[in-house]
Amino acid sequence: MKVPSLNVPGLRRRKADDLPGVTAVARIDRRTKRLTKRLKAGEIAIIDHVDVDRVSAEALVACGAAAVVNVAAGISGRYPNLGPQILVDAGVTVVDNATPELFERIKDGDVVRVHEGLVHLGDELVGKGEVQTVETVEAAMTEARAGLSVQIEAFAANTMEYVRRERDLLIDGIGVPDVRTSMEGRHVLIVVRGYHYKEDLATLRPYIREYRPVLIGVDGGADALVEAGYLPDMIVGDFDSVSEKALCCGAELVVHAYRDGRAPGLERVHQLGQQAVLFPATGTSEDIAMLLADDKGASLIVAVGTHWTLVEFLDKGRSGMASTFLTRLRVGSKLVDAKGVSRLYRSRISTPSLLLLVATTLITIGVVLSVSPVGRVWLNGLSDAWNGFTFWLVGLFS
């Protein structure tokens, strides 16, 4: 596929544009989440991401990536991950298992050309990989589904290990820190920048307006709240993917720390002149946000962008997702998926029906006024007022 040079940011305007393939500025990073923060439309993403997950793929598509070159296997075969399918369906050129030396040969901002799995830097061939198509992705997904049972067994083993390490936290809530944000008897809305978080937040507006829940952003979920026009009451996470604007918005900050006390996000908080509460725990940041809300007496926990199905748990791509499964068991009586809440609050009244209702009401009021003595007095008064107004108006121009 040849990408035209006009109106496509990042493309190199010279004779190389006449060559086949995609020629564009390359953005390179081993962490896809970090790369998408600076990737612009029409550019080429060079990543090192085994089993590209759905959230990462959707972020790459949203950024407008013209091509994705992955030095790892986009589908390793461990389980049917969702990312590669999303990329190829969006028309993005995808090259997997590319030459690892690309990270030494190419610098961020270099203009490269990708064609039939070959990566060129100027006139030099610097790497190659396997082009992914709809057919190759489907074949790889079919093979991955066959080995899903092995991953389920590993998931179960990780689950038992998590129970062993965090049984006090899960069962008795030991280790949950004190926070100043009051949640007792209130609804809590936890936002993770995950699957369809924008759509879910948009449909939850009536619910948020009526119930005024405590708003908790998990890392980038805080930015999602700010972008939607809300101010988070609390931000939870290791703070590697949340903006300074969100961290300084006045929300209470809870840093997710390792069990040994290390908290990489705390240094960033102090650099911004903010204070934070430490929450040492294994598992994911969305887990500790749920455990915190449950421990502090939330009556209902509504989750946006979090994981619900087995494939979504595996698609997260790390063994720590076993904690997410157990956390849901722990707070299950209070936990509601945002999609369910949005369906409950979705209006079933169409605009034409609403207009018909208003018109019918006005006609009914008019009939009542016309047949009752008091109504006739009111109508006569309105008629006299209208005649006086029209007489005055005509007098201005006569």
Longest dimension (CA), the chain: 95
d(CA 273, CA 244): 11
In a domain? residue 208: yes
Contact between 15 and 103 under an 8 Å Cβ cutoff? The reply is no
What is the rounded end-to-end Cα distance, in angstroms, of the chain?
Answer: 73
What are the pLDDT digits (tens) for 337-390? 876 665 555 544 556 766 777 788 778 777 766 767 766 677 677 777 777 777
Do 264 and 359 reside in the same domain of the chain?
A: no
Would you list the DSSP string of 146-185? HTHHHHHHHHHHHHHHHHHHHHHHHHH-TTPPP-SS--TT
Do 218 and 248 reside in the same domain of the chain?
A: yes
Do 25 and 164 reside in the same domain of the chain?
A: no
Task: Say whether pLDDT at 305 is over 70.
Answer: yes
In a domain? residue 386: no
In a domain? residue 5: no
Phi, psi at residue 148, to the nearest 5°? Answer: -65, -30
| Residue with token string 């939330």 | 298
Contact between 67 and 45 under an 8 Å Cβ cutoff? The reply is yes
Please compute, for residue 294, the number of CA atoms within 13 A of its CA located in the half-sphere on the CB side.
23
What are the pLDDT digits (tens) for 247-296? 999 999 999 998 877 888 899 999 999 999 999 887 788 888 999 999 99
The model's confidence at residue 398, banded by pLDDT at 50, 70 and 90, is low
Do 63 and 184 reside in the same domain of the chain?
A: no
Domain range for 373: 350-378
Do 215 and 356 reside in the same domain of the chain?
A: no
* pLDDT attached to residue 382: 74
Do 93 and 211 reside in the same domain of the chain?
A: no
In a domain? residue 70: yes
Contact between 126 and 77 under an 8 Å Cβ cutoff? The reply is no
Final residue in a domain of this structure, among 113, 144, 175: 144
Do 111 and 190 reside in the same domain of the chain?
A: no
Phi, psi at residue 135, to the nearest 5°? Answer: -70, -45
Cα separations in angstroms, 71 against 77, 109, 123, 127 = 16, 18, 21, 10
Higher pLDDT, 395 or 54: 54
Q: How many other CB atoms sit within 10 Å of the CB of residue 317?
A: 20
pTM of the model: 0.60
Q: How many other CB atoms sit within 10 Å of the CB of residue 351?
A: 8
